[in-house]
Amino acid sequence: MTLTRNNSAKEAIMREALKHPHVVTRELNDRSLYHFLQYFWSIVSPHTFSPNWHIEYLCKELEKAAERVSYKKPRLHDIIINVPPGSTKTICVSIMFPAWCWTRWPWMRVISASYSKDLSLENADYCRDLIKSDLFQQIYPDIQIKEDKDTKSNFKIVKVIPTTTIGRNTKIIGGGGRYSTSVGATITGFHGDLLIVDDPLNPTQAASEVQLKIANDWMEQTLPTRKTNKDNSLTILIMQRLHQDDPSGHILSKQKENIKHISLPGEIRNYREQLKPAELAQFYKDELLDPKRISWKVLKDLEADLGQYGYAGQIGQDPTPPGGGMFKVDHFQFVGTRPEQRKIAHTIRAWDKAGTADGGAYTAGVKMSKLVEGGWLIEDVKRGRWSSNERERIIRETAEADGTGVEVWLEQEPGSSGKESAEGTIRNLAGFVCRAQTATGDKPLRADPLSVQVNIGAVSILTGLWNRELVEEFRFFPFSTYKDQVDASSLAFSKLVGKKVARRIT
């Protein structure tokens, strides 16, 4: 009897569902952003939807984070998502996700940004067209865009509720909406419950230190002030990796505990270490994130187009090629003690000077020795951001500590100011052998001879607290954020190469 009653109840539910299919669709959409995305896919894309596990995974993560915002609970973390181009990230995060949130919480305010205003407005327009579409209105006739607040850059969401109040047919509630801007622009007067940054840089901008700084400063200083509630509002950054110090790398380098990092390389044959969370490896097929969208053939063509560095960043989510870039840093040899003086042929301290202490470039002095039996030893690095007076004092103190047997070389910047700076340091080092050389050619060209010796394992490093920063700069060069230590090392090496080893009589 119980079984019969259960069957009857299910049949009744099915009959009711058939009478009201839109109600069923709405319920399924409410339960799943991934279902919502598939249902409305044709509104925002002319191509057939190609399902893959990573899209469903991202949808689940976005759902959980948005629901916490809806409950006004303190957020557990902001989210950084690194995925390759062509992985449906923009449709998922910038277009479908805000619309899905408004169907449940029409009061949510969204601020969205991209590297250009045109791109940001285009994403907002797709989202706006979705809400206005007949298909959307069939399922959500109560979710509308306010007529007098309806532009690409700034539109407002309202929920229209039928009412029996005398003299009124509807009741309008809401307050949510979307404001779209570009990274680096002002956002005065707007606050958001969801702050979505989709591609804060393009590859060309990532090659510019100025553009990197603009993007990082905007992410750190401007965007956080635009949260409706500092404890509850959620920031989502989604991008492909373009540079060691791009916004993802810059934020992650601070090792904050309130950041959830989702990194999905296009392939894990070479980039398994970049996969986060690591357990997602079980979903990769043939070590590929999405064999249909990004097959090995597609990746081969992309590597040819992007180059080794571009491929490593945009596909591998690691903005340095496998095994390092120009320098194979795994080939450095580390030694615990300095060799006896009789085993050292010559030593040079080379300086690459920064002009100011304003938080930009560093001044670096690298002490390097040529060994009698072959090979090279990096003995010490002095590095800091110092005012000109403090810098000259430190250079003098370092020379005194090194001793008169250590030759000093300066990299002289072109122009009269560079010449004056070098001459000032030479005067400051009266009593020491000090010379200057004007920098010519690009930095990678000057570093190339040293890279050959590093890559064959002929360069050693004396262990010290300064090792990590030095090695990391070598690892990412010539795309490292700073290049002062490599520049100074290259200068020291170039001068040591020309030094003859004195014949020793035993």
CATH of 329-497, one of 3.90.100.10, 3.20.20.10, 3.30.420.240, 3.40.50.880: 3.30.420.240
In order, the DSSP letters of 275-303 are: -BSGGGGGG-BTTBS-TTTS-HHHHHHHH
Is the link from the previous residue into 141 a cis peptide, with omega within 30 of 0? no
pLDDT of residue 126: 96
Report how far apart, in Å, the C-alpha atoms of 13 and of each of 9, 17, 66, 138, 204 are. 6, 6, 30, 21, 56
| Residue-wise burial string across 225-239, b where 16 or more C-beta atoms lie within 10 A, e elsewhere | ebbbeeebbbbbbbb
CA 290 to chain centroid:
21
pLDDT of residue 358: 57
Q: DSSP class of residue 348?
A: E
Is the link from the previous residue into 84 a cis peptide, with omega within 30 of 0? no
H or E element, residue 205: helix 203-206
Of the candidates 489, 435, 84, the residue with the CA atom closest to the CA atom of residue 326: 489
pLDDT of residue 206: 84
337 contact partners, CB below 8 Å, separation of at least 6: 462
pLDDT of residue 171: 63
Would you list the domain boundaries of the chain?
A: 52-263, 329-497
Q: What is the pLDDT along the chain (506 residues), one digit of tens a residue?
A: 444 555 665 555 455 545 567 888 999 999 999 999 999 999 999 999 999 999 999 999 999 999 999 999 999 999 999 999 999 999 999 999 999 999 999 999 999 999 999 999 999 999 999 999 999 999 999 999 998 888 889 999 999 887 655 555 566 677 799 999 999 998 888 999 999 999 999 988 887 888 999 999 999 999 999 999 999 999 999 999 998 889 999 999 888 889 999 999 999 999 999 999 999 999 999 999 999 999 999 998 888 787 777 888 999 999 875 555 688 899 999 999 999 999 999 999 999 998 665 556 899 999 999 999 999 999 999 999 999 999 999 999 999 999 999 999 999 888 877 889 999 999 999 999 999 998 877 787 788 899 889 989 999 999 999 999 999 899 888 877 789 999 999 999 999 997 544 333 32
Are the C-beta atoms of residues 182 and 215 closer than 8 Å to each other? no
pLDDT of residue 256: 86
CATH number of the domain at 52-263, please?
A: 3.40.50
Are the C-beta atoms of residues 329 and 475 closer than 8 Å to each other? yes
Q: φ and ψ at 353, to 5 degrees? A: -95, 135
- Token pair, residue 367, equals 């002490």
In this structure, the dihedral spanned by the alpha carbons of residues 440, 443, 446 and 447, taken in order and rounded to 10 degrees, is 170
